[in-house]
Amino acid sequence: MADAEAAKSLSALLHGIAQSVFYKRSDVTEELLRAELFPELPPLDFRVLHDKMRGVVKSVATADMDRAQLEAFLTAQTRKQGGGGLSAEQAAALSRFWKSQRVRVRESLLAQSRWEPGLRGLSWRVDLQAAASRGHAAHSGPVALVELELGRAGQDSEFVCLEFDEAKVNEMLKKMADIQESMDRLVQHT
């Protein structure tokens, strides 16, 4: 049916807008979306549609609306007189879109305010030193070799390799406990 087709195109448009605005896909352009999804629509009419949808999506995303807030917002939009409002189909498409994409969009927006490299992962192994060219091996105990993977959004990872003796690992664990305690206290207050 024409309705189902229209709904699909609308959904796809919203996803396309998300790709471009939030997920940094510069290859998803307005022209591409028009050609793929609304080829019969005159460019100017498409622009109006595209801009309206993008504006709504951005408002919803910046406010990180929960279900109740979204309902209220969309209802208000559909009640708007004149050309600026949303149709019932558009509101429905937006509702579906936000339900599935909210977490991902929020994550990408948070990432935009992270300027330090983030910890992406780590790997490690524990070695036993058996011999050394200069020193006397019997004094060593187990040694942990750790590789930290750090990186900024969209950039390649940097790897930092470190070694720890047992005392150092203990020290690190104690710091982790302190950090955890600090975070737990935060949760109590908020």
Q: Which is nearer to other proteins, 71 or 124 (CB)?
A: 124
Go through 106-135 and write b for each residue having 16 or more CB atoms within 10 A of its CB, e for each that does not.
eebeeeeeeeebeeeeeeeeeeeeeeeeee
Q: Which residue has the tokens 């020290």?
A: 171
Nearer to other proteins among residue 92 and residue 109 (C-beta): 109
Considering the complex, state which of residue 85 and residue 117 has its C-beta at the smaller distance from other proteins. Answer: 117
Total of chain residues touching other proteins, rule CB under 8 A: 57
Residue 100 binds other proteins (CB under 8 A)? no
Q: How far is the CB of 17 from other proteins (least distance, A)?
A: 16
When the beta carbons of 72 and 122 are compared against other proteins, the nearer one is: 122
Q: Which of 81, 103, 134, 155 binds other proteins (CB under 8 A)?
A: 134
- For residues 90 and 53, give the distance between their C-alpha atoms in angstroms, rounded to a whole number: 9
124 lies in the binding site for other proteins (CB under 8 A): yes
Report how far residue 42's alpha carbon sits from residue 185's, in angstroms, rounded to the nearest whole number.
Answer: 57
Q: If binding is defined by CB under 8 A, does position 103 make contact with other proteins?
A: no
Encoded tokens for 178: 């302190």
Stretch that binds other proteins, among 1-9, 33-41, 82-90, 163-171 (CB under 8 A): 163-171
Give the one residue of 32, 35, 72, 126 binding other proteins; rule: CB under 8 A.
126
| Footprint on this chain of other proteins (rule: CB under 8 A) | 61-64, 106, 109-110, 112-114, 116-122, 124, 126, 128, 130, 132-136, 138-142, 144-146, 148, 150, 160-166, 168-170, 172-173, 175-176, 178-180, 182-183, 186, 190
